[in-house]
Amino acid sequence: MLLSTNLRRFLRLFSAIAILIPLMAAAGEYETARPSADDVQITSTPAGVEFATWGVTPAKPAPTLIILSGNMKDSLTRGSFLRAGELLAPKGYLCVTIDLPNHGAEAKPGYSNLSGWGKRAAAGDDFVAEFNDRMKQVVDHLITQGLTDPERIAVTGTSRGGFMAIRYAAFDQRIKCAVGYAPVTDLRRLKEFDLALDVPSVDSMSLEAYVPQLVGRPILIMIGDRDERVGTDAAYLFARKLSEAAVATDVPSQVELRILSEPRGHSMPSSVGLSAARWIYRILEGEELPTK
């Protein structure tokens, strides 16, 4: 894919933003953990919303990391989705997830995965609103049960999960920071939404429509430099909208865009987990992520 003129100019003139960050310490210096399927606990809120957790049941409200990808067990057991959770869980973070719309237990015949999103969008169905309601019920429940510290909640997600993570941050102001790994930012960039070309509500669901709710808040976007699936330039344009809105409203811009050398396209290098964990820890704890 040929990069847009704006993106080429961005990469040439603002290389300080297009980051390949050399990590200050090797990942091996940090304590990590990855659960098996048996370590993941699946339960429900009083209203019946299923969610999954990983981590020791905290004795007091704990910092909480919401991890979003597709179905619950994959989110908490696959390294390509878990990412920062591998480093934050050993520091006492509770890791939480729910099924995305049309994934896992939320899939319906003929309406599964991203194709289900596209079909629902074509019918004018705001599937994100349904997701936000379920996710909020889980967060409310965890806070009520004394498991989650409402002042230390972060949300992360990969690709479609990154889209949902940032959309949820826009919806729930208790989210202190959000990370999108190669996130979908514009739903129209997905081939699954071709059948919804004439549906205006698709634009109102994409991330640009939620800039007012996100401006000035810590948002970290990491994406490969040749991502044709979700669009490197789309991620850049969304980040620029957040930055421009911060200037217009005279608030500090806390958006970070990291465009990474990634020859595999819609993928992320393994180093992003450590980079994200350190970023989240600085925001929620006010200090650097401790090593072993």
User: 5-285 in CATH: which number?
Assistant: 3.40.50.1820
- Average pLDDT over the chain, rounded to an integer: 91
The reply to whether the predicted model has a pTM over 0.75 is yes
- How much of the chain, in percent, has pLDDT values that exceed 70? 90
End-to-end CA distance of the chain: 42
CB contact at 8 A, 70 and 112: no
Two tokens at 59? 């004795």
Nearest CA-CA partner of 101 in 126, 124, 138: 126
pLDDT for res 164: 98
CA distances from 84 to 12, 17, 81, 95 (A): 30, 21, 9, 10
pLDDT tens figures, 16-52:
344 334 443 445 789 898 888 889 999 999 999 999 9
Q: Where are the domains of the chain?
A: 5-285
Share of residues in the chain with pLDDT > 90 (%) = 84
- The closest of 133, 131, 138 to 46, measured between CA atoms, is 138
Do 186 and 229 contact (CB within 8 A), yes or no? no
Cα gap 52→286, rounded to integer Å? 27
Task: Give pLDDT, residue 17.
Answer: 40
pLDDT for position 2: 45
113 Rama sector, left if φ>0, alpha if ψ -120 to 50, beta otherwise:
left
Taking each helix axis from N to C end, the angle separating 5-13 and 232-249, rounded to the nearest 10 degrees, works out to 70
Strand order from edge to edge, sheet including 41-44: 41-44, 50-54, 94-97, 62-68, 148-158, 177-181, 219-224, 255-260
What pLDDT does residue 98 have?
Answer: 98
**pLDDT under 70: residue ranges of the chain:** 1-27
pLDDT digits (tens, 9 = 90+) for 104-146: 999 999 999 999 999 999 999 999 999 999 999 999 999 999 9
Would you state the pLDDT for residue 1?
44
